[in-house]
Amino acid sequence: MARSLIGGLLKRGQVATSIAVSEPFAATAEALVRDFGIAVYSDCASAVAGKAVWLLAVKPQMMREVCEGLRAQVDASEPLVISIAAGISLASLRQWLGPKAKLVRCMPNTPALIGAGMTALFAETDVNAEHRTSAQDLLNAAGASVWVEAEALMDAVTATSGSGPAYFFLMIEAMQAAAIAQGLSPEVARALVLNTAYGAAKMALESDEAASILRERVTSPGGTTAAALAVFEQTGFRSHVNEAIAAATARGKTLSAQFG
pLDDT at position 260: 66
pLDDT at position 59: 87
Domains of the chain in sequence order: 2-149 (3.40.50.720), 164-257 (1.10.3730.10)
Cβ-proximal residues to 15 (8 Å cutoff; 6+ apart), any chain: none
pLDDT at position 61: 87
Yes or no: say if 36 and 10 are a contact pair by the CB < 8 Å rule. Answer: yes
pLDDT at position 254: 87
pLDDT at position 170: 98
pLDDT at position 40: 96
pLDDT at position 35: 93
Q: For each of the chain's 260 residues, which pLDDT tens digit applies?
A: 888 889 889 988 889 999 999 999 999 999 999 999 999 999 999 999 999 999 999 888 899 999 999 999 999 999 999 999 888 999 999 999 999 999 999 999 989 888 899 999 999 988 999 999 999 999 999 899 999 999 999 999 999 999 999 999 999 999 999 999 999 999 999 999 999 999 999 999 999 999 999 999 999 999 999 999 999 999 999 999 999 999 999 998 888 787 76
* Residue 39, burial from CB neighbour count under 10 angstroms (0-12, 13-18, 19+): middle
pLDDT at position 252: 86
Nearest to 97 by CA among 76, 74, 78: 74
Secondary structure in 3-state letters for 64-96: HHHHHHCHHHHHHHCCEEEECCCCCCHHHHHHH
